[in-house]
Amino acid sequence: MNKLLEIKNLKKYFPVKSNWLEPMRFVHAVDDISFSINKGETFGLVGESGCGKTTVGRTVLRLYEPTSGSIVYDGNDITKGDMLPYRRKMQIIFQDPYASLDPRMTVGDIIAEAMDIHRLSGTRTERDEKIHDLLTLVGLSPEHGCRYPHEFSGGQRQRIGIARALAVRPEFIVCDEPISALDVSIQAQVMNMLEDLQRDFQLTYLFIAHDLAVVKHISTNVGVMYLGKMMEITNTEELYKSPLHPYTQALLSAIPVPDPKISRSRKRVPLEGDVPSPIDPPPGCRFRQRCKYAMPVCSEADPVLKEVGPGHWCACYLLEK
């Protein structure tokens, strides 16, 4: 399989304004993470709110400039320099479809805006035909092109966001929590549509979600993030069958099971306390304040993400014994 995206030692720190007498402090939003995505596959990136997964998605697209590390797209280093040649190929679907759509523009103009920028619109008639085709593709009707975003439901607005991303014929899409703001009743429809589009257009996804249950069906591999660090990476089947990191185990045990018998017999791993501050975190495992297995070594140095089985990577001292 060809790698489409390769991230190595990526860091994104945000400066925090403080008293001018005090030294500058930094939010370590993304702190030295590495992963890769093969062409046509989906990498699910999971973790609680504030773990840095959205920052990863935006830094990969260079909407945020990386602090250090490298981003290689289809064999080309895009960490620095002009992103314009890659803007068409690399798109994003946002979590909040309403906030990401300009309320003063018609849906047709919103979809066509990127086509116009990349000179893909063609003549007026061709442009209109492309808008109609895209609206039909995402389950809307061509007449919807003349309406404004406020006239649509949340699910329909997300479909518009997807049509806008597809308008420039991308290869890679960052799906940033695309269903978390939608009603449960339409989440499955949007997920199925994203899977169909991936198959039909050979798309590669970085799929960001806070819930491991959401990424299970769409992801080829899954990475679990906690406070800016990657804690575990493996293929989806392995992660759900044999999670190794205590944080992954806690996240998985919190997924509701529809069968009451299985639910009663299942052992829950409680996740207590809050996520600590990401501002200049002290050395050691970032999860140690909430980990029931924490040992003295866990507060001395960061555990390194190591391959503990074929294709299974985990950052935990428990696995180094």
Task: List residues near ligand SF4 by CB under 6 A.
Answer: 246, 285, 287-288, 291, 293-295, 298, 303, 316-318
Residue 117, φ and ψ in degrees, nearest 5: -60, -40
Under DSSP, the state recorded for 314 is: E
Task: Write b or e for each residue in 100-119: b if 16 or more Cβ atoms lie within 10 A of its Cβ, otherwise e.
Answer: bbeeeebbbebbbbbbeeee
Q: Nearest approach, Cβ of 55 to ligand SF4 (angstroms)?
A: 22
If the CB atoms of residues 188 and 293 are measured against ligand SF4, the closer one turns out to be: 293
To ligand SF4, the closest distance from the beta carbon of 227 in angstroms equals 11
Q: Indicate the residue among 73 and 317 with the shorter CB distance to ligand SF4.
A: 317
C-alpha–C-alpha distance, residues 138 and 153, integer Å? 14
- Across the strands, what pairs with 176? 208
Least separation in angstroms between residue 121's CB and ligand SF4 is: 52
Residue closer to ligand SF4 by CB (options 111, 285) is 285
CB of 11 vs ligand SF4, minimal distance in Å: 20
**Per this entry, what is the length of the chain?**
321
Min. distance of Cβ 293 from ligand SF4 in angstroms? Answer: 4
- Give the side-chain half-sphere CA count within 13 A for 69: 23
User: 50: which strand partners?
Assistant: none
Residue with Cβ nearer ligand SF4 (182 or 239): 239
Closer CB to ligand SF4, 57 or 246, in the complex: 246
Neighbours of 170 (CB within 10 A): 20
The one-letter code for the residue type at 71 is I
